[in-house]
Structure 1
Amino acid sequence: MLKPSPTINNIPAVDVEKLTVVRGNNIILKNVSFTVPQGSITAIIGPNGSGKTTLLKAILEIINIQKGKVLFFGKKLTTIRQDIGYVPQKFAFEKNFPITVYEFLNLARQNQPQKIIREKIKEVGLTPLILEKQLGALSGGQLQRVLIAQALFDDPKLLIMDEPSAGIDTVGEQIFYKIIEHLNKEHNTTIIIVSHDINFVANSVDQVICINKTVICNDTPKIALSDANLKKLFRDSKLTKHNH
């Protein structure tokens, strides 16, 4: 059984219905439908090129969709955007550009009180001293945590993360997983995370959505990660497995 929503009306945090994305003559996603219960951690898995990042961008209206409907907490994105945080897979910037972490965060959220910035930095496991560092001098893991802190400024009810631990060492991964668990358990933040780490998905999430152009499986980790489902989903692709 999937983890039920703790809300009175059981309105899902995300309700995606028959979403289709086409680029040129290529169908990137076809008739994708799923719901994400409030208060849950949902992982999206699939091989490279299966449409995972496209799916996140489509539901957030970063790219256009050709067909389908998406609701967040029963509402359209335009009326509830402030309740949704997003951490992209890649963040492109000029590393030599002279800007501190504090300046970057303040620029991203105009006139954000310094107290709030410091609180969010601490929440992602960084010390306030990092605010004086140049953004380009941060490690990959530090930069990702700064981006998560930025996404938390509005205390979002939903946090969407696209492979936040990609390219990060094992220690950095452990920090990410603790942050995710903290946000979910202490703040009841609904989390959607694209991940290649099957061990993390198996042990730490409530729901797994298997994507390869369409939804292959949507169930609990135990069922979604069965050998039969993984073979069907990945075929010759390799999975990332770590000991947690």
Structure 2
Amino acid sequence: MVAGNWKMNKTLFEARDLIRAILPEVEGVSGVDIVVCPPFVSLGVTKRETEGSLIMIGAQNMHWEASGAYTGEIAAGMLVDLCQYVIIGHSERRAMFGETDATVNKKVHAALKAGLKPIMCVGETLSENQAGQTAAVVEGMVRGGLVDVTPEQAQNIIIAYEPVWAIGTGLAATPEGANSVHKDVIRPVLRELFGAEVGDAMRILYGGSVTAANAAELFSKSDIDGGLVGGASLKPDSFAAIVKAAL
């Protein structure tokens, strides 16, 4: 799987033009789940432009309540007619908007109840990494976000490991380092929580300065099942190259 997180970029018409440019670049690609996650206002136009194609749509966030007095928020039930996936717990939301493992967990349950597939993000900061706390921090985030999730539900959840120090900095974790976190930290927790069969089948994406230049080496590793791509997903040729690297 390769998911493109457009973040807070592109107007409605720019989003339309971007997806129109991406479509021919990935035409005929099979064997890779391709997801694009535009801003809320562009979900509709992106959905229309991709109908009949292999590209699926995701949202970048959602609220855990079904409706109510939550000005400026979007409920899962509002998204389900527009997209199949939703990013939950991105580090930018944790850092800027105070999201916690508890709120991430509530969003995961709300997404699953509505029929959306969560892409749940976890990852350590630079100071945590330098202090040798990566394993403890990431394990805690995985466990915290998946409280009371059943093995059946877990089959519809994707985990994205995004070391915070690598997001938007141009610094990517080494393929070996990223794979080690996936294989030795995240995968064992998933196996413990949901059993070996489900835990081994769940997809773990890597995110954090994924580019056309490093994607193939990252995706060649045993437990890296694709990428959550930021800046490179705004460039049709780069995004297509990353998608093709996942074949």
Measured against the shorter chain, the TM-score band is: 0.3 to 0.5
- Rg comparison, structure with higher value: 1
Structure ranking higher in helix proportion: 2
TM-score by length of structure 1 reads 0.39
TM-score by length of structure 2 reads 0.38
Structure ranking higher in strand proportion: 1
